[in-house]
Amino acid sequence: MQLESLILPLLIVLLAVPLFLQARKQKRAMAEQQKLQNSITAGDRVMTTSGVFGTVVSTSDDTIDIEIAPGMTTTWVRQAVREKVETEAAEESATEESATEETATEETKVEDKAETEVTESAEKQKTS
């Protein structure tokens, strides 16, 4: 008798928890998209929901003008922007920064190895 009285509340909880989690995830995604659309400024490289890449020329409250080819500007609603795209120069600078960090890490490893070898050889000389 007690098991039957627990089935209905358990089913309600099992259905309500995933719905609650899904609503939170969707709300967070909407907030991120809104933040992106509000941060669009002239000079940003963007991709629209239809897959068109371009550079933002000017913005207003509801629309943005995107240059999709030299001299060809089109007007879009802000909600049509899917994401900001990194330009090649930004990608190259990020690549250079990571290469510099890797080089610094490798140099540190080499220095540490040299110090270890010097310490080991000094200890061997003391014991000899």
Average pLDDT on 1-9 reads 78
92, 98, 99, 101: CA torsion to nearest 10 = 150
93-99: long-range contacts, CB 8 A cutoff, minimum separation 24: none
Task: Tally the C-alpha atoms within 13 A of residue 124's C-alpha that lie toward its C-beta.
Answer: 6
Radius of gyration of the chain (CA): 29
pLDDT digits (tens, 9 = 90+) for 69-81: 999 999 999 999 9
62, 68, 70, 74: CA torsion to nearest 10 = -40
Question: pTM of the predicted model, to two decimals?
Answer: 0.54
Q: Specify the pLDDT at position 103.
A: 63
The more confidently predicted of residues 17 and 123 is 17
